[in-house]
Chain A
């Protein structure tokens, strides 16, 4: 019986080439999209599962709750906590601290900029990072040993086996010699713990900052700590034991307070976070929100649903053509369930074909998708064995989703009605029309959303953020002798094409970090203020606008001691006054003291963060001993090539042992919107594919409508209808559906995008023309698609149509 079903299914596929093509192509595209998004989701959920002891590895986090703050955790461990846990809890088999830092590497007389992670010797007992060369037992035993990844070994030495070779590393002011003790396999993309170079924690134990943090249980220096619990330990789910531990080392936190303020009611505790939870837990700083994955799966599901709807509507549309077969089968004794099985077999066969084609398509599209998703995914069944079951499940689901309704409808035909030709089925029943409308609701909704996202993105990129970010080069001067800056400035600033050089201890744009301090506002409340220590000409070179007071002046000695220029937000938030009146005001520091910072000028607000944030209070000052970490060079407009060459050559002359690393500030600001860019691209692709698939379905339906209405068309033509009238007759119904879809999609898209825009402090207004444009586009595409079939039907010889009847 099964053989018979499959044989018939093959024949039907072969006989209805256009419809089969539409179905297989549509479902393949749907499955390809879904597989890619599924791969992304599986990858995101697979983080850190590759460690052999993954079930027993936990990260130490500090959890805060109470007061006005949202409950949440921080992964920054205090230096002495991990060793104390190892000492106090017999459940802790190993504890390991990780401290990252950027550094220069001198290898084979070349200098590279990278990062180094210092780890306790237990590192390889806790984590599974196999070494290609070297021994995990001894790799971190000496303070000047370093483990290097295979990728970095190849980059620095051109070969992987570099154990025993030496490199010079500079993390502070001077290069130090290290011996390579191991070469690690490249770190999997789905690892939360990453390193390029791995040094021994012992190397930094004498560092002043580390020593200070070792004795100060409240000081964090950007360190993370992990523990490996012994098998069977329940420490992670025993908050009481962790609470006792906290009481032991933080007794002050538990002393009764007199009249505690809201802020003091905040309670901190230690928690152990499973390593597999790190990547996808947004309540701990740095964790991702899983809702993005669901959004992706929803988008992919929408595309797949559109493809499945094509199958369903086309199968129903074709039902008139299959009615006789069904009738005869029933007369011959077929039961309904046998017919359902037969039709489902056809949809499963199609689904299997589409799955194979879809997976091939997905493999081809993977590089593009990786670019879009900013990931390095691969269809590796060994890394993601669950993919096998998920893909089989997907194939079955598609078969069921696409084939169920037609199977139920077709198998319900009464043989007597079929054989008497009394049955009226086809592409125009209410269910089919609803499905087509749903397809276009989804497609139109996605296109409207994409346009609004792109508009917001363009708005954020183009908005005047309060500084001139164009033609501004930012050079990294971390770990460079501070005397270099004046020399470099001197050498560069008077050259053609250079209009200004300045420096700051802080960078600008995405990933540059911030520093700040607390000040009391005029009500006495504590307010955070972001600080920018820069050179005298910082504000001018940046193109910021001074709206009151004056700029820093090298001739005034007090400008390097207590003078600050502040932004409008600071004046408004801290002082509650006007910029003019703010001049001369002394800021009150967190301890309530005045006199250390006097306002000499007020600038317009500048958006130093992305535009989802309001501008926070900000101050600029000129430290007496400026220690720049970034030099900014303002280029004159035009081709930057020769100017960059000048900057690079000058750098090489002055700083031969450090690479020339630069970036354009406008690009650094654009990088704030990487997520928005990614999401608008993904939504755009999904929207484009959706409308394409929906039109493909429409093309098939129009063809079927023309076939099902052959007699009507023939009669109308005999009675004098023109080609345009007949084409209009067929197109009219579809245009009605698209219009209905537009009416449904418009408020839905408006609602979702209005909510989305609320997360931006600076945002666009949704314009009516976006809906009109999308609607017009959808109708145009649909009419064009349908017209091809309609005109073909209208131009056919009516005599032939009537003779057939």
Chain B
């Protein structure tokens, strides 16, 4: 599904040049659950952003479903993103002005799903995430765990092929964290590819494979048994 080769990302300021990704090459197959680990500043979030088409690489190749996307413009990236990728963030990133229902509905609006279908699909996914009873609440009225469940619901409502999760349990207590990881595992078992950045060895154990990074390069790969 994902094939990147010799990917480079360099951040430049007037005085300093920081290599965030240094000719990194990774393959992720469809249906895999991959965890990316490493110390702060090793480039894992940069990698995730490039994989999510939120950022573009300076060099290298990025094939998504065998299509070269490294040089896609903003419009094409947005188009590919909204149909194929779901995101889960550490800080949830729900829109405060929208209710739970509306937050989850948002990706469907941008993919042009009709109103009746949207309602059905949002209700289905809220039900699945067990937050249907909170559908008319605003994010700030929910607990951290509930907010992350809404974020996961939003990430999956479009049935994406890939979910990118950036430290999804980073802001949660262990109980809520476990719940979220279970949700992700369930999704993976239903066929969704998941790439997750985490600092937590515990969370990483939910994955099939752990890619460890240091200074913008992969240093080790662990296959989970």
Binding site for B on A (CB under 8 A): 1, 4, 7-8, 11-12, 15, 324-325, 327-336, 338, 415-416, 419
Contact A329 to B87, CB < 8 A, known contacts A334-B78, A334-B110: no
Chain B, Cβ-Cβ closest to A337: B75
Contact B97–A331 (Cβ < 8 Å): no
> What A residues does B52 contact at CB under 8 A?
331
Known interface pairs A8-B98, A334-B78, A335-B78; A327-B93 also in contact (CB < 8 Å): yes
Q: Are A329 and B78 in contact (CB under 8 A)?
A: no
A333 touches B95 (CB 8 A): no
CB pair A416–B55 under 8 Å, yes or no, is yes
B75 CB contacts on chain A under 8 angstroms: 335-336
Residue B89 at the A interface, CB < 8 A? yes
Also in contact, A336 and B74, with CB within 8 A (given A325-B97, A329-B95, A416-B49): yes
Residues from chain A with a CB closer than 8 A to the CB of B102 are 7
Cα distance, A497 to B25, chains bound together (Å): 110
Contact indicator per residue, chain B 76-105, by CB within 8 Å of chain A (1) or not (0): 001101110001010001111110001000
* CB–CB B97/A328 < 8 A: no
User: Is B223 an interface residue, CB under 8 A from the partner?
Assistant: no
**A324 to B103 alpha-carbon distance, docked (Å):** 13
B residues apposed to A, CB below 8 Å: 49, 52, 54-55, 74-75, 78-79, 81-83, 87, 89, 93-98, 102, 106-107, 109-111, 154
Chain B residues contacting A329 (CB-CB under 8 Å) are 95, 106, 110
> In the complex, how many residue pairs between chain A and chain B have their CB atoms under 8 Å apart?
60
Min CB distance A530 to B, Å, is 74
Q: Contact at B98–A332, with CB atoms within 8 Å?
A: no
What's the least CB distance linking A750 to chain B, in Å? 44
Q: A333-B82, A335-B78 are in contact. Are A15 and B97 (CB under 8 A)?
A: yes
Q: Provide the residues of chain A in CB contact with B98, threshold 8 Å.
A: 8, 11
Are A419 and B107 in contact, CB atoms less than 8 angstroms apart?
A: no
Q: Provided the pairs A416-B54, A416-B55 are in contact, do residues A333 and B78 lie with their beta carbons within 8 angstroms?
A: yes
14 further A-B contacts with Cβ under 8 Å, apart from A331-B52, A333-B83, A335-B75, are: A4-B109, A11-B98, A12-B97, A324-B93, A325-B95, A328-B93, A328-B106, A329-B110, A330-B78, A332-B82, A332-B107, A333-B110, A336-B74, A416-B49
Q: Which residue of A lies closest to B56 (CB)?
A: A416
Contact A333 B93, beta carbon cutoff 8 Å: no
Q: 6 A-B residue contacts at CB 8 Å? A: A325-B97, A328-B95, A331-B87, A333-B83, A335-B74, A335-B78
Do residues B97 and A333 form an inter-chain contact, with CB atoms below 8 A?
A: no
Contacts A4-B109, A416-B55 given; indicate if A328 touches B94 (C-beta within 8 A).
yes
| A1 with B81: CB separation less than 8 A | no
Chain A: CB-nearest residue to B87: A331
Q: Is the CB of B95 within 8 A of A338?
A: no
Give A335 to B78 CA distance when docked, in angstroms: 6
Closest 9 pairs between A and B when the two form their complex, measured CB to CB: A333-B82, A333-B110, A416-B54, A332-B107, A325-B95, A416-B55, A11-B97, A328-B93, A332-B106
Shortest distance in angstroms between B85's beta carbon and chain A's nearest beta carbon? 9
* Alpha-carbon distance A327/B106, docked complex (angstroms): 13
A333-B78, A333-B82, A335-B78 known; A1-B54 Cβ under 8 A: no
Min CB distance, B91 to chain A, in Å? 8
| Known contacts A324-B95, A416-B49, A419-B93; is-contact A333 B54 (Cβ 8 Å) | no
Q: Please, which residues of chain A bring their CB within 8 A of the CB of B49?
A: 416
Decide: B110 and A338 in contact? CB cutoff 8 A.
Answer: yes
Separation in Å of the B115 CB from the closest CB of chain A? 8
Q: Which chain B residue shows the least CB distance to A419?
A: B93
Query: What A residues does B82 contact at CB under 8 A?
Result: 332-334
Cβ distance B84 to chain A, nearest Cβ, rounded Å? 10
Min Cβ gap B104→A in Å is 10
**A598 → B minimal CB distance (Å):** 92
Contacts of A327 in B (CB 8 A): 93
Residues of the A chain whose Cβ atoms lie less than 8 Å from the Cβ of B154? 332
Chain B residues with Cβ below 8 Å from A415 are 54
A419 to B95 CA separation, bound complex (whole angstroms): 12
- B81 & A331 in contact (Cβ 8 Å cutoff): yes
B170 to chain A, nearest CB (A): 14
- In the bound complex, CA of A332 to CA of B83 (Å): 9
Cβ of A325: which chain B residues have Cβ within 8 Å of it?
Answer: 95-97
How far, in whole Å, are A338 and B75 apart by their CA atoms in the complex? 11
Q: Are B94 and A333 in contact (CB under 8 A)?
A: no
A356 to B55, CA, bound (A): 44
Min CB distance A417 to B, Å, is 9
* Chain A residue at minimum C-beta to C-beta distance from B108: A332
Give CA–CA (A41, B162) in the complex, Å.
62
Residue among B54, B89, B111 facing the most chain A CB atoms (10 A cut-off): B54
Give the Cβ gap from A336 to chain B, nearest Cβ, in Å: 7
Closest residue of chain A to B83 (Cβ to Cβ) is: A333
- A residues in contact with B107, CB < 8 Å: 332-333
Please tell me if the beta carbons of B54 and A331 are within 8 angstroms of each other in the complex.
yes
A160 → chain B, closest Cβ, in Å? 61
Residues in A with CB closer than 8 Å to B110 are: 329, 332-334, 338
Closest chain B residue to A328 by CB distance?
B93
Which chain A residues border B54 with CB–CB below 8 Å? Answer: 330-331, 415-416, 419
Give the docked Cα–Cα distance between A327 and B107 (Å): 13
Chain A positions within 8 Å of B97 at CB level? 8, 11-12, 15, 325
Interface core residue of B49, B89, B93, B154 (most chain A CB under 10 Å): B93
- How far does the Cβ of A58 sit from chain B's closest Cβ, in whole Å? 60
| CB-based nearest A residue for B79 | A333
Bound together, the chains give a CA A796 to CA B123 distance in angstroms of: 43
Which chain B residue lies CB-closest to A336? Answer: B74
Closest to A335 in B: B78
How far is A415 from B52 in the complex, measured between Cα atoms in Å? 11
Nearest Cβ in chain B — how far from A2, in angstroms?
Answer: 11
B71 CB, nearest partner CB in chain A, Å? 17
Least CB distance, A162 to chain B, in whole angstroms? 67
Report the Cα distance A415→B79, complex, angstroms.
15
Given contacts A331-B52, A333-B81, A416-B49, contact A1 B109 (CB under 8 A): yes
Set of chain A residues within 8 Å of B93, measured between Cβ atoms: 324, 327-328, 331, 419
Q: Identify the closest chain B residue to A7 (Cβ).
A: B102
**B94: nearest residue on chain A (CB-CB)?**
A328
Shortest Cβ gap from B13 to chain A (Å): 12
